[in-house]
Amino acid sequence: MAERGNEKISEWLEIDLRRLSGQERTGLIFEIMDTLSAQELGIIRTEADRKRQGKLKDARLSLVAEMREKAQQLELTLEEVLEFEEENKKRPRRAASPKAKYRSPDGQEWSGRGRAAKWLLDLEAQGHLRDEFLIKDE
């Protein structure tokens, strides 16, 4: 960062960046970006990405250390933690097949949902009524 002697720009401009909210800091950056050339913005983007990657790495390391500490407090190994997670994952339930509503003379069934079964359409074409094949409560 450009400095006057050993002083940071924010110091000689008398800006306490820690007292600004995240939104205010972002706004200040956007104002500055409006004054930069495409080349300068490229430099900023590269540096911002490098800093972002470093902060992500630090956050990941911190999370792993925290998880290790908690696992040790509970006397668990990583393998046990992962096994516990797998055992307790909610598995998606498959919807139950709808109950058959119609049955053909030869035992084929249709739920009454969606497109009518071919066997039922064939029987209706022969003059039968759909209600003839309704399954009575068994």
Report the mean per-residue pLDDT for the chain.
87
Q: Can you say whether residue 112 is alpha, beta or left, with left for phi > 0 and alpha for psi between -120 and 50 degrees?
A: left
List, for residues 36-81, the tens digit of each pLDDT value.
Answer: 999 999 999 999 999 999 999 999 999 989 988 998 899 988 788 7
100 vs 96, more confident? 100
pLDDT at 14: 82
CA distance 69 to 81: 13
pLDDT at 3: 56
What does the pLDDT average to over 82-103?
A: 80
List, for residues 5-48, the tens digit of each pLDDT value.
Answer: 677 888 878 888 889 898 999 999 999 999 999 999 999 999 99
pLDDT at 124: 93
pLDDT band with cut points at 50, 70 and 90 for residue 115: very high
CA distance 36 to 45: 12
CA distance 65 to 58: 11
**Contact between 135 and 103 (Cβ < 8 Å):** yes
pLDDT at 4: 66
101: amino acid identity, one letter: K
Give the E-state strand segments of the chain in sequence order: 3-4, 7-8, 102-103, 109-110
pLDDT band with cut points at 50, 70 and 90 for residue 138: low
pLDDT at 1: 52
